[in-house]
Structure 1
């Protein structure tokens, strides 16, 4: 697999690490069974370290061992349950260090845990349970992620921008995880992937009409992160994660019609006291450092018995806030334990947080992309705005 610019020859090869752990015989068998399957495969962790995983197939399926040898035939729609036994996985009365559940028809789907997926299932033992991996063609994956992350009602150019960003994100992580059991996960810590339920004609069109297109910086895939709503301005990666990227710079956002452009949260002082731990009743919260666009980088919780500094990301995660673009005000007067408060001191009962945007605020804003698309900007222009110093390239062998 290689990456080529639209206007020039191959820029740089991408690591072909997806064969890791899978014997060549398995790959040869799969290619013969499904010659039209996409050549670029992703291994997506769906269920990780679960005691049992529910599985099934919409079509008759074969259970294969690590060498691609058939172990059993599985009828369509038969409920199955995988579990770990020692250093092996067990399914349908068979055990092995690695098992595959493969539908026998190209349009067959596999069921993992609670969703249907295209492709097939790979099972391996994890540290504390079973790991169920969906091996799926790149473009099928992208179609589902666009629907999972953005839905299908946004303007088509926004959906296309999401398709390119999600494809790039997936291949970037695939190229950096050659020693890991799977390329990327399927939940909110990665990019959400819900299988065929999230697909629609419009998400499939967005994937098809941008097929193979990725974003590169100096010939290398970028980490094309994105978020829901930037609150009027996105931010530099270095402000949010303390690790700068030349293509992840703060830019004006156009998400003013986003339902999460502005919001309010009320946090009880007792909850903050538990978060801080050991500093007594909370007197105040100070934003020590913020980005030029108002995202809290470092905060200080001041209590009756000391203080504690936390990062903006930690503060957001612990309190379940929508973003770190916040302003904090004390409200009310708490009835506090005498041993925790100086005599005569007044302590807030809760803190009101006024916020803007939703997500980490780095990379493409989905609501901003929708606004630009509604103003007739193309997906190429949208991507160029949110990912600076990048070019579009094509993944060969898609």
Structure 2
């Protein structure tokens, strides 16, 4: 009873501290200041920044209900280049090196080869062109940065026989961006007509966009060669067709060749343009919506985005950047980051935090300010917008958090697990001046309305979790003193973590089965979670991907040896030796199993295979540090060696504990994310208690001013 009263006192003190801190932080004022909030923001949807960030695609397919206008954008000028009809798609790619596998007049055969290649490549294409008075179809694979990598791909596809048995008009070879140029021509239609004339001579000819002296001109690029070796011969052949201005352009001259693509629609009657952008000249093509509505990007889960799309080449990869009005960008971010039914004040707090974070990013990704993933903040286009998130953005338009005349890096996380983190000691090793450190946070929202789960032992000796409504107390005790539970129905699932799932459970038990209760835990959520037992091998692999100095196996013990002000783990030791994985937040990834990360570093770690055995003479054996088999003495005095993986022991307090005969590790934690700055679930909790968005922001962010950014 005394313990119960102490807990009540602690919870009351915790609540009073929270209320006092929120009330003290509220200023209910917005200052007008000089920090400029731009009209637009650049969001990278596909980008290759090598080790810093990679989201790769070989092609971008765009379409808009009202059509699109294609603009060539240069640092000095922008000029109209082409247009795409309403509802029609257009594709964009880098004009790289490719493996040409087949050229045929039979589109059905080409599509059959394409299907084989697509089974293991997302960079397979069918190009339709006119040659020697015929319509031919070229099946190509890849958009490679070098001829050598394309050659390796060609060898692979040839050895696989993807085009075997199909009559081809030419031998498989590597093709590339080297070409002869004819023109210029007055219009794109004239360039296409010239390409048809040149193609009639049996040459690969494509109309192309090419800016000159601040204006858009149109040329024909003839040939798609892997080197410059054949260009003089091609130039002579082009001149022989009567085409004017045949020349060999410098490799640095920008262009975008237009190839007719059959891949996307899979029909010769529905070929669409593919703009192949030169890789080394800073060429940028922008697609602007011609009517109402946004632009759909097929390769990004068919999401539709406001604003314009810009395609360019960076680090020998296609880059796709969404240039979108800043406030409209936030419509999507707020809608994606928090629930549409959450209180308006939480929506407003999220809008200000997201606006501030994006503004503080500058041009953090070379040609973009932010990316569309959680590395920046989630951005999913128009599909994640909702009326509530839009209202939160509109009602805080232009408002940011500033300190010292600059926008702060207003990071936030999903759920801080009841207490916020300290940046300096627990997360990234930076200053925590603008963040509330170890502040209580009402994050338990995900747990509301959910049932508890029992941690149980089965008659087979297995352990797992069963939902509390599927069992009933029997009123009886196990010999150890633990409660016994009766299963209430047939086929009841026992799972490796307290969470319903479509995955097959570790066991199913029938009505009347008796289970031994080992504990009671909340259901698995973003607030409270348990990760299933991890093996030493899983953790050793994960740790060695991050560890500055590799850990020599086997992994026998793993324990938290340092914690920060909020209780988050800042150091773990493997086999008694501290593991250096860099900053504290890296522990989330370093302790994940099967390529995943822990939800947070606010966890406890149970070593199920670690315990101390005290012998009759007082001598102790430390398992698993001391090797040898584990033996027990039965009631009849006989000695038996434990064979199975599980055993049950009485701990120092007399409670029954599930253990294992070999090392295994169970993580029990709170929260989801780094826990620094604003907790989104905490913001919801405060809003539900009646606090406005300014109070919420000034609780989680310290030494800041809420200001209306200059336009």
Please say which of residues 362-371 and 308-317 is displaced more in the overlay: 308-317
Change (3 A) 1:90 1:137: farther
**8 Å CA contact 2:436, 2:702 repeated in 1:** yes
Question: Which TM-score applies when normalising by structure 2?
Answer: 0.48
- Kindly indicate whether residue 686 of structure 2 is the aligned counterpart of residue 372 of structure 1: yes
**8 Å CA contact 1:262, 1:355 repeated in 2:** yes
Aligned to 1:294: 567
Q: Deviations over 1:271-314 (max 9, x none)?
A: 012224451111111222211211111212228xx774335422
Aligned to 2:383: 197
SS at match of 2:378: coil
- Kindly indicate whether residue 366 of structure 2 is the aligned counterpart of residue 163 of structure 1: no
**8 Å CA contact 2:35, 2:405 repeated in 1:** no
Change (3 A) 1:219 1:6: farther
Q: How big is the alpha-carbon RMSD for the aligned residues of Structure 1 and Structure 2?
A: 2.5
Unaligned runs of 5+ in 1: 17-38, 334-339
**8 Å CA contact 2:357, 2:410 repeated in 1:** yes
Shift of 1:332: 4.1
Question: Which TM-score applies when normalising by structure 1?
Answer: 0.83
Aligned to 1:212: 398
Please say which of residues 376-385 and 69-78 is displaced more in the overlay: 69-78
* Matches of 1:210 and 1:272, distance apart in 2: 45
* Matches of 2:31 and 2:322, distance apart in 1: 34
Aligned to 1:262: 528
**8 Å CA contact 2:413, 2:675 repeated in 1:** yes
Please say which of residues 196-205 and 58-67 is displaced more in the overlay: 58-67
**8 Å CA contact 1:269, 1:349 repeated in 2:** yes
- Kindly indicate whether residue 450 of structure 2 is the aligned counterpart of residue 173 of structure 1: no
- Kindly indicate whether residue 542 of structure 2 is the aligned counterpart of residue 275 of structure 1: yes
Choose the corresponding residue for 2:368, options 182, 188, 195: 182
Aligned to 1:344: 628
- Kindly indicate whether residue 377 of structure 2 is the aligned counterpart of residue 111 of structure 1: no
Choose the corresponding residue for 1:387, options 701, 704, 707: 701
Please say which of residues 324-333 and 262-271 is displaced more in the overlay: 324-333
SS at match of 2:382: helix
Q: Deviations over 1:168-211 (max 9, x none)?
A: 1111102x53x811111000111000000000111111111111
Shift of 1:108: 2.9
Shift of 1:343: 4.4
Q: Deviations over 1:19-48 (max 9, x none)?
A: xxxxxxxxxxxxxxxxxxxx6100000122
Aligned to 1:82: 92
SS at match of 2:44: strand
**8 Å CA contact 1:225, 1:364 repeated in 2:** yes
Higher gyration radius (CA)? 2
SS at match of 1:69: strand
Q: Deviations over 1:217-251 (max 9, x none)?
A: 12210001000111111012112110113112322
* Matches of 1:44 and 1:70, distance apart in 2: 23
* Matches of 2:360 and 2:530, distance apart in 1: 35
Aligned to 1:221: 407
SS at match of 1:232: coil
Aligned to 1:64: 71
**8 Å CA contact 2:599, 2:672 repeated in 1:** yes
Higher-RCO chain (CA-CA 8 Å, sequence separation at least 6): 1
Shift of 1:75: 1.2
* Matches of 1:376 and 1:281, distance apart in 2: 53
Aligned to 2:581: 310
- Kindly indicate whether residue 645 of structure 2 is the aligned counterpart of residue 331 of structure 1: no
